[in-house]
């Protein structure tokens, strides 16, 4: 099995737009043992229909040690302030 380089990222997400509180940025990191959290970031618009744009953060090789490398996508629903806990995790 190929070994992957260790890539660790911490992201700061700040809400923007009418009604948003720019003074409440959040800092998010991948779960312990994840590699590549934040190597892909997407702004797909309003996924849940609440009027706020959402953010999707990829973790290229998330998974338990020794398990197959599958990756994950973390969806953070927008709002006046982002919540540092992902609202949806796709594996």
DSSP string covering 21-37, please?
-TT--EEEEPPTT---E
Q: What's the pLDDT at 6? A: 39
pLDDT in tens, 4-29: 443 445 566 655 555 555 556 677 77
Angstrom CA distances, 17 to 23, 32, 74, 83, stand at 13, 32, 22, 16
**Residue 21 CA to its chain's centroid (Å):** 19
pTM reported for the whole predicted model: 0.71
The residue with tokens 């709002």 is: 79
Q: Rounded to 5 degrees, what angle do the CA atoms 43, 52, 89 make?
A: 55
Compute the average pLDDT of residues 66-74.
75
């Amino acid at each position: 099995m190929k070994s992957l380089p260790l890539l660790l990222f911490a992201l700061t997400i700040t809400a923007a737009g009418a009604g948003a509180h720019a003074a409440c940025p959040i800092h998010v990191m991948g779960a312990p043992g994840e590699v590549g959290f934040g190597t892909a970031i997407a702004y797909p618009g309003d996924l849940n229909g609440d009027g706020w744009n959402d953010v999707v953060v990829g973790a290229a090789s998330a998974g338990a040690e020794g398990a197959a490398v599958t990756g994950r996508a973390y969806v953070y629903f927008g709002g006046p302030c982002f919540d540092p806990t992902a609202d949806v995790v796709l594996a």
